[in-house]
Structure 1
Amino acid sequence: MGCVVVDVAVVQTSELGDRSYVVHDGHLAIVVDPQRDLDRLQAVLDERGLRCAMVLETHIHNDYVSGGLQLAHQHDAPYAVNAADEVAFDRHGVADGDELSVGGMRVRVIATPGHTDTHLAFVITGGPGPAAVFTGGCLLYGSVGRTDLVDPARTEELARAQYRSVHHLADLLADDARIFPTHGFGSFCSSGSTSGGEDSTVGQEKTRNDALTAPNEDTFVARLVAGLTAYPAYYAHTGARNRAGAGPVDLSAPQQVSPAELRARISAGEWVVDLRDRTAYAAEHLAGTISIALGQQFATYLGWLIPWGIPLTLIGATPQQITDAQRQLVRIGIDRPDGAATGKLRDLADGAATRGYRRVTFAGLAAAQQAGETLIVLDVRRDDERAHGAVPGSVHIPLHCLLDRLADVPAGPLWVHCASGFRAGIAASLLDRAGHDIVHIDDEYAVAVTSGQATG
Structure 2
Amino acid sequence: MFFVDTIEMPGLGNRSYLAGGERTAVAVDPPRDIDQVIAVAARRGVRISHVVETHLHNDYVTGGLELARVTGAAYLVPASARVSFEHVPVHDGDRTEVDSGAVLTLRALATPGHTPHHTSYVLEEDGTAVAVFTGGSLLIGTVGRPDLVEPRLTEHLARAQHTSAHRLAAELPDGTAVLPTHGFGSFCSSSQAEGTATTIGKEKASNEALTRDVDTFVADLLAGLDDIPAYYAHMGPANAAGPDPVDLTAPAVADAEEIAARLAEGEWVVDLRNRVAFASGHVAGSFNFEAEGQLATYLAWLIPWGKPVTLLAESPEQLADAQRELVRVGIDRPAAVATGGPADWVRDGDEPVSFPRATFADLAGRQPAAGVVVLDVRRASERGGGCIEGSVHIPVHTLRRRLGEVPEGEVWVHCAGGTRAAIAASLLDAAGRDVVAVDDSFDAAEKAGLTIRTP
Which TM-score tier does this pair reach, normalised by the shorter chain? over 0.9
1:278-427 alignment to 2 at 5 Å?
278-351=275-348, 352-369=350-367, 372=369, 374-427=371-424
Q: Aligned Cα RMSD in Å?
A: 1.3
Contact 2:378-2:415 within 8 A present in 1 as well: yes
Moved more, 91-100 or 348-357: 348-357
Aligned residue for 1:55, secondary structure, equals: strand
1:269-328: CA deviation from partner (whole Å, max 9, x where unpaired): 100000111111111111111111111211111011000001100011111111111010
Identity of aligned residues (%): 51
| Separation in 1, partners of 2:451, 2:127 | 56
- Residue segments in structure 2 that go unaligned for 5+ positions in a row: none
Counterpart residue type for residue 150 of structure 2: D
How far does residue 170 in structure 1 lie from its aligned partner after superposition? 0.9
Return the match for 2:20 from 21, 24, 47.
24
1:397-416: CA deviation from partner (whole Å, max 9, x where unpaired): 11011112122111121111
Q: Does 1:195 align with 2:194?
A: yes
The residue that corresponds to 1:221 in the other structure is 218
Aligned length: 449
Task: Compute the TM-score of the two structures, normalised by the length of structure 1.
Answer: 0.96
| Separation in 2, partners of 1:194, 1:153 | 27
How far does residue 42 in structure 1 lie from its aligned partner after superposition? 1.1
Aligned residue for 1:54, secondary structure, equals: strand
Counterpart residue type for residue 160 of structure 2: A
How far does residue 159 in structure 1 lie from its aligned partner after superposition? 0.3
| Separation in 1, partners of 2:3, 2:339 | 43
The residue that corresponds to 2:136 in the other structure is 137
Contact 1:192-1:210 within 8 A present in 2 as well: no
Q: Does 1:34 align with 2:30?
A: yes
How far does residue 238 in structure 1 lie from its aligned partner after superposition? 0.9
Return the match for 1:208 from 202, 206, 209.
206
How far does residue 154 in structure 1 lie from its aligned partner after superposition? 2.1
Contact 2:162-2:214 within 8 A present in 1 as well: yes
Contact 1:6-1:127 within 8 A present in 2 as well: no
Moved more, 225-234 or 256-265: 225-234
The residue that corresponds to 1:124 in the other structure is 123
| Separation in 2, partners of 1:284, 1:124 | 52
Q: Does 1:9 align with 2:8?
A: no
Contact 1:389-1:454 within 8 A present in 2 as well: no
Aligned residue for 2:56, secondary structure, equals: coil
Contact 1:377-1:393 within 8 A present in 2 as well: yes
How far does residue 239 in structure 1 lie from its aligned partner after superposition? 1.0
| Separation in 1, partners of 2:22, 2:446 | 53
The residue that corresponds to 2:431 in the other structure is 434
| Separation in 2, partners of 1:399, 1:85 | 33
How far does residue 368 in structure 1 lie from its aligned partner after superposition? 1.9
1:158-181: CA deviation from partner (whole Å, max 9, x where unpaired): 100110011111111121222111
- CA gap of 1:49–1:339, structure 2 versus 1, over 3 A, is same
Contact 2:364-2:448 within 8 A present in 1 as well: no
Task: Compute the TM-score of the two structures, normalised by the length of structure 2.
Answer: 0.96
Contact 2:361-2:449 within 8 A present in 1 as well: no
Aligned residue for 2:337, secondary structure, equals: strand
Contact 1:416-1:441 within 8 A present in 2 as well: yes
